[in-house]
């Protein structure tokens, strides 16, 4: 029992981190960024190249991955999302194409086979019969820290409040002197940064492979759908629901049904309560 709680907490922390960047774009920009998984892909591979292959210190590798993620996010907004002027279908389709292009690029450079990242923080300990790696523990603590920082940032800072305003009512925000374009730009960059960071942790926990963008995208989608649009706290709660559900499915029911429950949850919530469990909240 205790073992399930420990594992559930750790996994959920990682899921929250993965979903965060996706939620931000969905609430501020109101578009589904299907290339979100590509940030994780890029982040993971940058870290792999810089830190594992070239031997640059891990913290620098992580920072660099985050910066590249940020840059990709900014470029994506400028070159792709902005020219399509809020045409949702067009943004969804073009980001989907982009994700496939990035995947092909990774296969071209690194080949098809999966790679394993070394733990960012090495070491392992046993808690209540469950093996706990310091790496995942660091990811979870990091994830909580990032989430609280983000919460504080959105509530307390000028830019954060502007983001809230744009997420609630773009036109209204524009009238009251906020430049939605700059806020969007900022959010895309931030989302890319979060995505790439999550990618490094996700990859160091699981694996690096050219198709690794699909699974986190689905987790992010599940969290956003089940939680409803754009609440940081909602994201945190739902990440825990999904994380615990998966751990429970594996431990108690049947491991091969792990993914099935997440899918059923998505379909169920969308059909029964389309606005999500926590409805439409402010950011």
94 or 164: whose CB is closer to another protein? 94
Phi, psi of 253 (to 5 degrees): -95, -100
Please provide the DSSP assignment of 72-88 as one string. Answer: HHHHHIIIIITTTTT-H
**Do 68 and 46 meet the contact criterion of CB atoms below 8 Å apart?**
yes
3-state secondary structure of 177: coil
According to CB under 8 A, which one of 75, 131, 149, 169 is a site residue for another protein? Answer: 131
For residue 31, give both structure tokens.
């578009």
* Residues in region 230-249 near another protein by CB under 8 A: 246-247
Q: Site mask, another protein, residues 15-54, x = CB under 8 A? A: ----------------xx-------------------x--
Could you tell me which stretch among 58-66, 156-164, 185-193, 266-274 binds another protein (CB under 8 A)? 266-274
Q: Given the complex with another protein, which of 167 and 178 has the nearer CB atom?
A: 167
By CB under 8 A, the count of residues binding another protein is 71
Q: Is 131 helix (H, G, I), strand (E, B) or coil?
A: strand
Identify which range of 65-73, 174-182, 192-200, 206-214 contacts another protein by CB under 8 A: 206-214
Q: Is 257 in the site for another protein (CB under 8 A)?
A: yes
Q: Which is nearer to another protein, 92 or 281 (CB)?
A: 92
Could you give the CA distance from residue 49 to residue 32 in angstroms, rounded to a whole number? 29
> For residue 230, what is the DSSP state?
T
Instruction: Tell me, rounded to whole angstroms, the distance of Cα 200 from its chain centroid.
Output: 11
Nearer residue to another protein within complex by CB, 75 or 149:
75
Contact 232, 23 (CB under 8 A): yes
What is the rounded CA–CA span in Å between residue 28 and residue 113? 36
Judge whether 220 and 34 are in contact, CB under 8 Å: no
- Per the structure block, which two tokens stand in for 77? 């907004």
Q: Does residue 254 bind another protein (CB under 8 A)?
A: yes
For position 175 contacting another protein by CB under 8 A, the verdict is no
> Which residues, 63 to 122, sit near another protein by CB under 8 A?
80, 83-84, 87-90, 92-94, 96-98, 100-101, 104-105, 107-108, 111-119
Q: Which is nearer to another protein, 159 or 265 (CB)?
A: 265
d(CA 151, CA 258): 31
260 binds another protein (CB under 8 A): yes
Angle at 40 between CA 222 and CA 211, to 5 degrees: 80
Could you tell me the smallest distance in angstroms from the CB atom of residue 177 to another protein? 29
Helical packing angle, 232-252 and 214-227, nearest 10° = 120
Rule CB under 8 A: say whether 138 interacts with another protein.
Answer: no
The residue from 55, 129, 171, 177 that contacts another protein (CB under 8 A) is 129
Please, which residue, 183 or 247, has the CB nearer to another protein? 247
**Smallest distance from the beta carbon of 152 to another protein, in angstroms?**
29
């Amino acid at each position: 029992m205790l073992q399930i709680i420990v594992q559930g907490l750790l996994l959920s922390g990682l899921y929250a981190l993965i979903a965060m960047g996706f939620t931000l774009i969905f609430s501020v920009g109101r578009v589904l960024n299907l290339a979100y998984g590509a940030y994780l892909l890029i982040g993971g591979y940058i870290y792999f190249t810089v830190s594992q292959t070239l031997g640059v210190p891990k913290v620098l590798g992580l920072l660099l991955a985050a910066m590249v993620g940020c840059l990709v996010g900014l470029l994506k907004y400028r070159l792709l999302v902005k020219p399509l002027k809020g045409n949702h279908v067009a943004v969804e389709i073009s980001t989907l194409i982009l994700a496939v292009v990035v995947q092909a690029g990774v296969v071209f450079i690194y080949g098809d086979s999966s790679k394993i990242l070394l733990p960012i923080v090495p070491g392992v300990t046993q808690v209540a019969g469950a093996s706990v790696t310091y790496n995942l523990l660091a990811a979870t603590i990091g994830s909580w820290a990032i989430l609280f920082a983000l919460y504080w940032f959105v509530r307390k800072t000028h830019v954060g409040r502007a983001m809230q305003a744009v997420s609630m009512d773009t036109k209204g925000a524009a009238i009251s002197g906020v430049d939605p374009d700059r806020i969007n730009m900022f959010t895309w960059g931030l989302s890319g940064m979060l995505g790439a960071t999550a990618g490094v942790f996700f990859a160091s926990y699981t694996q690096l492979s050219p198709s690794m963008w699909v699974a986190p995208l689905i987790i992010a989608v599940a969290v956003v759908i089940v939680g409803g649009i754009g609440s940081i706290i909602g994201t945190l709660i739902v990440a825990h629901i999904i994380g615990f559900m998966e751990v429970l499915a594996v431990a108690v029911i049947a491991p091969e049904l792990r993914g099935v429950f997440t899918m059923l949850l998505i379909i169920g919530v969308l059909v029964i309560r389309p606005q999500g469990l926590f409805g439409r909240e402010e950011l």
